C-alpha cells in the first residue's frame, strides 16, 4: 500500500528522485522530514499517527502473552480503506482542478503507450494533457510521452504489480496538470492486480489487443468489470489472425455489460476519432457538472446574503 | 501478486486497531474475502506470513471467511446469487451479469492479547 510513508517499503520511485524517504525504513520514532511539499489533501496524518508504524522495527510492544487473557476484537474494516482514502483525496483534487483523470489498464504490450502518443498528438493545442506512467522499471514510456510535448512523470513501482492511489497522489504533485486538462494514468501492464486499486480516476479505460485472443475477458474479468470504455486495439492485424472478433466483443459484454467498446488501430486510424470524441465528451460533461455545482453553490451563497 | 499489498494494508489496519484498542499481540485474524474479490487465498496466506514477521501479528493464524457472490442480471433485472463469476443467471440463463456482492476484502475480527 502506501510505500512512502509509514509503511513497509516495496519501494516505488519517482523520476527526479525527490523521494529519498522511500529508501529508508520507517523505524519507530525516527525523524521524518519530507523534502517535497505535501500540498495534496491526502490523509497523511493517519499514516503518521504518533509517528510510528512498526514495520521492520522488530517485535516491539509484544510481551509474554501468557500474562494476559486473549480477547476478541471486532474490526469490520475494508482492507483497502487506506487506498480508498487516498483515492478519495485524489478525486477531490481532480474535481477542484477540473481535471478529467483516466486510469488506463491493460496487459503488457496491448498498446497503451502507443495509443496515448497518438491521442496526445490529436489533442495537442486543443486540450491540455498530462501523463503518469506506471512501470516496474525504466522511464522509456515517459520519455516517449514527453517527446510529444506533453508533461509526463514515470513512477517505477519496483516489485509492485500495480499503481495505488498514494503513488498517484505523489506523482500529481510533480506534474502541472492544467485546469480543464486530461490526466492519463497508464497503469502497470498487468491484467490482474491493478483492477483492485481505485486511483481516484473519473473513468476507467481497459485496453485489450486483438492479438491476445477472444477468451481474455473471461479469464481476467476483474480488469474489464469496472471499465467505462474497452478499447480493442491493433485491429489492423485482424486479417492476419484467427481471432473471432465478434466472440471477443461478446465476451467483453458478458463481463462488462455497461462498458462502451471501440475497435481502434493507431496504424490505420480506425476508431481513433470516436475515442477522441469520447474523451472530449467526458471532459465536457465533467466540466459542465462541476460548473453547475459551483453555480448552485454561488446561488446559495448569494441567497444567504 | 497484489495479495502482498493487501497483506501490507491488512497489517496497517491491525496496527491502527492495536493503538486504538490497546492490544500488543494478535494470535488469530479473520478476514472476509468475497468470492469475486479477485484474491488468491494461498497467495494471501503466504503473503501474510511474510509481511507479519516482526510485527505484533507475527505467527498469527489467518482465517478466511467466504462471502458468497451476488450479481445484477441485465437480462432479467434481478439480483441473483452466483457461485462462479462466469455462471449464467440462475433465474433466466442470461450471461450479462455485474457482480454486486462478494467483492469485499474486510478484516472482520481478531483474537488479541
Q: Are A257 and B71 in contact (CB under 8 A)?
A: no
Residue A21, φ and ψ in degrees, nearest 5: -70, -5
Q: Specify the DSSP element, H or E, that contains A171.
A: helix A165-173
Read off the pLDDT of residues A68-106 as tens digits, 9 standing for 90 and up. 678 999 999 999 998 999 999 999 999 999 999 999 999
ipTM of the complex: 0.85
Tell me which residue of B92, B46, B15, B108 sits closest to A72, measured CA to CA: B108
Confidence of residue A113 (pLDDT cuts 50, 70, 90): very high
Q: How far is CA A124 from CA A127, A148, A203, A233, in A?
A: 6, 9, 21, 22
A15 touches chain B (CB under 8 A): no
pLDDT score of A159: 81
Residue A119, φ and ψ in degrees, nearest 5: -65, -45
Residue A40 pLDDT > 90, yes or no?
Answer: no
Give the separation between CA A231 and CA A275, rounded to whole angstroms. 8
Give the separation between CA A191 and CA A280, rounded to whole angstroms. 27
Read off the pLDDT of residues A156-205 as tens digits, 9 standing for 90 and up. 998 889 999 999 999 999 898 999 999 999 999 999 999 999 999 999 99
Q: Are B74 and A225 in contact (CB under 8 A)?
A: no
CB contact under 8 A, B108 and A75: yes
> Which B residues in the span 37-76 are in contact with A, Cβ-Cβ below 8 Å?
37-38, 51, 54-56, 58, 74
The partner residue sitting opposite B13, judged by closest CB among A75, A197, A218, is A75
Residues constituting chain A: 305
Rounded to a whole number of angstroms, the distance from the CA of B77 to the nearest CA of chain A is: 13
Give the separation between CA A249 and CA A264, rounded to whole angstroms. 13
Largest CA distance in chain B: 52
B24 touches chain A (CB under 8 A): yes
Tell me which residue of A219, A193, A225, A234 sits closest to A206, measured CA to CA: A225
Q: Specify the DSSP element, H or E, that contains A217.
A: helix A216-219
Amino acid at each position: 500500500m502506501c510505500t512512502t510513508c509509514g509503511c513497509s517499503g516495496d519501494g516505488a520511485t519517482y523520476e527526479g528522485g525527490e523521494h529519498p524517504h522511500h529508501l529508508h525504513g520507517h523505524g519507530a520514532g525516527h525523524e521524518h522530514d519530507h523534502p517535497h511539499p505535501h500540498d495534496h489533501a491526502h490523509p497523511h496524518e493517519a499514516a503518521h499517527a504518533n509517528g510510528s508504524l512498526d514495520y521492520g522495527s522488530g517485535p516491539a510492544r509484544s510481551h509474554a502473552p501468557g500474562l494476559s487473557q486473549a480477547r476478541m476484537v471486532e474490526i469490520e474494516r475494508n482492507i483497502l480503506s487506506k487506498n480508498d482514502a487516498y483515492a478519495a483525496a485524489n478525486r477531490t483534487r481532480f474535481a477542484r482542478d477540473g481535471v478529467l483523470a483516466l486510469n488506463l489498464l491493460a496487459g503488457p504490450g496491448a498498446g497503451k503507450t502507443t495509443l496515448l502518443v497518438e491521442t496526445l498528438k490529436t489533442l495537442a493545442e486543443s486540450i491540455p494533457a498530462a501523463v503518469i506512467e506506471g512501470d516496474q522499471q525504466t522511464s522509456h514510456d515517459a520519455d516517449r510521452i514527453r517527446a510529444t510535448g506533453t508533461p509526463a512523470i514515470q513512477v517505477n513501482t519496483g516489485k509492485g504489480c500495480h499503481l495505488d492511489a498514494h503513488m498517484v497522489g505523489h506523482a500529481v504533485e510533480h506534474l502541472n496538470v492544467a485546469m480543464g486538462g486530461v490526466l492519463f494514468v497508464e497503469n502497470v501492464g498487468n491484467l490482474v492486480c491493478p483492477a483492485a486499486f481505485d486511483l481516484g480516476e473519473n473513468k476507467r479505460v481497459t485496453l485489450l489487443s486483438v492479438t491476445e485472443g477472444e477468451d481474455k475477458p473471461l479469464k481476467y474479468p476483474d480488469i474489464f468489470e469496472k471499465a467505462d470504455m474497452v478499447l480493442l486495439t491493433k485491429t489492423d492485424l485482424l486479417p492476419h489472425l484467427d481471432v473471432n472478433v465478434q466472440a471477443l466483443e461478446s465476451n467483453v459484454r458478458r463481463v462488462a455489460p455497461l462498458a462502451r467498446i471501440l475497435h481502434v488501430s493507431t496504424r490505420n486510424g480506425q476508431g481513433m476519432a470516436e475515442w477522441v470524441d469520447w474523451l472530449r465528451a467526458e471532459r465536457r460533461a465533467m466540466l459542465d457538472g462541476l460548473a453547475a455545482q459551483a453555480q448552485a453553490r454561488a446561488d446559495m451563497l448569494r441567497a444567504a446574503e | 501478486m497484489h495479495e502482498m499489498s493487501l497483506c501490507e494494508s491488512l497489517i496497517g489496519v491491525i496496527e491502527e486497531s492495536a493503538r486504538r484498542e490497546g492490544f500488543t499481540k494478535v494470535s488469530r485474524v479473520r478476514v472476509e474475502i468475497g468470492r469475486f474479490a479477485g484474491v488468491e487465498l494461498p497467495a494471501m496466506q503466504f503473503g501474510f506470513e511474510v509481511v507479519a514477521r516482526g510485527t505484533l501479528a507475527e505467527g498469527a493464524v489467518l482465517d478466511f471467511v467466504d462471502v458468497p457472490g451476488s450479481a445484477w442480471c441485465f437480462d432479467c433485472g434481478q439480483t441473483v446469487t452466483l457461485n462462479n463469476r462466469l455462471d449464467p443467471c440462475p433465474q433466466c440463463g442470461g450471461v450479462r451479469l455485474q457482480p454486486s456482492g462478494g467483492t469485499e476484502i474486510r478484516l472482520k475480527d481478531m483474537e488479541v492479547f
